């Protein structure tokens, strides 16, 4: 038996507390103390699968040549008869997602992925072996998560990235990345359930973190501040397989000949940080408005903790309908941009801040909303577009029209962040950038003119509320001029 003497030194040892973590530490060893454990003294080759060892621990002095080693794993040793030193265990029970998993465990408790793996039910027709099933479940869940962070990487490349330096450790039982077929079988055996459960845990942890620590929150209101969220539909390309085309369909062509099938999703994001709180999804090959409105109903059902009276949600022009606005307003607050073809029945005079009350009817429901309309300017140039917002926030002192108009810019910023996060197409992102150029830049630090009505019966006709060139028209109203109230000095966002 080879013996590696260790002279006593005045230093503390990790052996009592076993406090050396896997990774994150460096070990310094004199170069002349690094030796081969093989009986014939030769250096281990690739086929030997053995680590080098230290042959002494003399005090390191200035000028000594020193090898600095990164701690990869702390494991029980397996010493072979020929002197080879190997590690017991496997990367399956040691690889983690690093800082991402550390954050999740701080928010949701230790061992989150292991707990999800333990509850996972494997489909027996794909995986029949019993060895290390629980460990393999957790490892594969981590691989699937990592694939979303490595665009273009296949499952095997994600396995290699997840194992990292652990793949170079001379394990007592030889380890190598699984074949693509084996990985495909494991993915099929797991199914979507564990990933959906993990997604719910991550989104819940993100939401709770923002509830507790979001010092940058975008808020509105004085006596009762409201946090701001944003929701908007987006399309996500998925692999072109027959199953995906059958399940999700595609857009842009009538015969489903689009290059990729697509998932239609509705990201629910935090306006200030663009953090993703939830994202219901469904088929893309359907009517856009109807599909996104159905996803909104799903969001209210799946994420009731997000639709509360301490939050206001910013929504784009995909009109949700009067009945759905009424359901939203009974749970939370909304600030919705309308298209020009949505009729508004004015039920009040012009309020002190330039807004007014109106009724929206449809689907057997009538809801009273407050209307804020304003022109947008970009760097001193007029843009032929009026923004029309409706909200259930009625108090003009608590929520003035100018502040609501300035708040709406966050919908564009939040949507761009969400689109980038879920891999939206470049054309969709480009359209968002143009919206920001036309609206957000001016609202954030230039003139916001809240339109004041000079009209005897109802709102002004002929003002464009959208790029669709639709006009706001109410029968029986005579056309009158629009006068901008306020200027750069008192209405800066």
Q: Tens digits of per-residue pLDDT, 333-351?
A: 999 999 888 899 999 999 9
- C-alpha gyration radius of the chain: 31
**pLDDT score, position 216:** 62
Ordered DSSP codes for 231-244: E--EEEE----HHH
- pLDDT, mean of residues 191-195: 88
User: Could you give the CA distance from residue 398 to residue 427 in angstroms, rounded to a whole number?
Assistant: 39
- pLDDT confidence tier of residue 435, bands split at 50, 70 and 90: very low
Q: Of 341-355, 419-433, 468-482, which one has max mean pLDDT?
A: 341-355
What mean pLDDT value characterizes the chain? 75
List Cα–Cα distances, 452 to 90, 339, 488, in angstroms. Answer: 71, 19, 16
**Best CA proximity match to 442, nearest among 375, 490, 394:** 375
The residues, any chain, with a CB within 8 Å of residue 106's CB and separated by 6 or more, are none
**Best CA proximity match to 108, nearest among 23, 188, 191, 209:** 209
User: Could you give the CA distance from residue 339 to residue 335 in angstroms, rounded to a whole number?
Assistant: 13
Burial class from Cβ neighbours inside 10 Å (0-12, 13-18, 19+) for residue 382 reads: exposed
C-alpha torsion 426→429→435→436, nearest 10: -120
- pLDDT confidence tier of residue 86, bands split at 50, 70 and 90: confident
**pLDDT score, position 355:** 94
**pLDDT score, position 214:** 60
- pLDDT confidence tier of residue 416, bands split at 50, 70 and 90: low
Q: List beta partners, residue 235.
A: 264
- pLDDT confidence tier of residue 421, bands split at 50, 70 and 90: very low
- pLDDT confidence tier of residue 476, bands split at 50, 70 and 90: very low
User: Could you give the CA distance from residue 436 to residue 413 in angstroms, rounded to a whole number?
Assistant: 7
Taking 90 as the threshold, does the pLDDT of residue 315 lie above it? Answer: yes
Strands (E), 157-233: 219-220, 226-231
The residue ranking higher by pLDDT, 163 or 333, is 333
37-51, 222-236, 315-329, 382-396: least confidently modelled range: 37-51
**pLDDT score, position 430:** 36
**pLDDT score, position 11:** 44
User: Could you give the CA distance from residue 241 to residue 264 in angstroms, rounded to a whole number?
Assistant: 17
Strands (E), 40-126: 53-54, 66-70, 77-79, 85-87
Taking 70 as the threshold, does the pLDDT of residue 181 lie above it? Answer: yes
**pLDDT score, position 135:** 61
> Strand 226-231 and strand 77-79: pairing?
unpaired
Length of the chain: 493
């Amino acid at each position: 038996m080879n013996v590696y003497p260790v002279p006593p030194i005045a230093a503390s040892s990790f052996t009592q507390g076993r406090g050396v973590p896997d990774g994150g530490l460096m070990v310094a060893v004199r170069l002349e103390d690094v030796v081969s454990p093989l009986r014939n003294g030769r250096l281990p080759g690739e086929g030997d699968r053995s680590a080098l060892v230290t042959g002494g621990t003399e005090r390191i002095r200035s000028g000594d040549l020193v090898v600095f080693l990164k701690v990869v794993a702390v494991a029980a040793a397996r010493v072979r008869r020929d002197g080879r030193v190997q590690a017991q265990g496997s990367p399956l029970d040691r690889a983690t997602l690093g800082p991402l998993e550390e954050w999740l465990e701080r928010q949701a408790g230790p061992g989150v992925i292991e707990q999800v793996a333990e509850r996972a039910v494997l489909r027996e027709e794909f995986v029949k072996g019993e060895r290390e099933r629980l460990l393999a479940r957790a490892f594969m869940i981590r691989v699937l998560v990592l694939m979303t962070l490595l665009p273009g990487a296949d499952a095997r490349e994600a396995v290699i990235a997840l194992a990292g330096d652990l793949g170079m450790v001379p394990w007592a039982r030889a380890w190598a990345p699984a074949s693509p077929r084996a990985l495909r079988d494991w993915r099929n055996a797991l199914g979507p359930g564990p990933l959906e459960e993990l997604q719910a845990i991550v989104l819940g942890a993100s939401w709770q973190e923002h509830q507790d620590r979001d010092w940058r929150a975008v808020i509105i209101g004085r006596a009762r501040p409201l946090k701001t969220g944003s929701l908007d539909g987006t399309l996500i390309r998925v692999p072109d397989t027959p199953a995906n085309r059958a399940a999700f369909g595609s857009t842009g062509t009538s015969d489903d000949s689009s290059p990729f099938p697509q998932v239609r999703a509705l990201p629910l994001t935090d306006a200030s940080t663009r953090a993703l709180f939830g994202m219901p999804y469904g088929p893309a090959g359907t009517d856009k408005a109807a599909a996104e409105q159905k996803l909104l109903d799903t969001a209210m059902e799946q994420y009731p903790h997000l639709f509360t009276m301490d939050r206001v949600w910013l929504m784009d022009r995909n009109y949700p309908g009067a009945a759905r606005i009424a359901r939203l307003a009974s749970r939370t607050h909304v600030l919705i941009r309308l298209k020009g073809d949505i009729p508004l029945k004015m039920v009040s005079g012009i309020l002190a801040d330039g807004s007014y009350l109106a009724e929206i009817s449809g689907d057997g429901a009538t809801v009273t909303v407050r209307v804020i309309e304003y022109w947008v300017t970009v760097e001193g140039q007029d843009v032929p577009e009026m923004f029309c917002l409706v909200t259930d926030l009625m108090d003009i002192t608590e929520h003035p029209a100018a502040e609501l108009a300035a708040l709406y810019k966050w919908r564009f910023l939040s949507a761009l962040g969400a689109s980038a996060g879920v891999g939206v197409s470049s054309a969709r992102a480009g359209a968002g950038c143009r919206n920001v150029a036309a609206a957000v830049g001016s609202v954030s630090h230039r003139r916001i003119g809240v339109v004041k009505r000079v009209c005897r019966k109802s709102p002004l006709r002929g003002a464009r509320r959208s790029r669709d060139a639709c006009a706001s028209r109410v029968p029986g109203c005579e056309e009158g001029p629009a006068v901008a109230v306020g200027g750069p000095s008192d209405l800066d966002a």
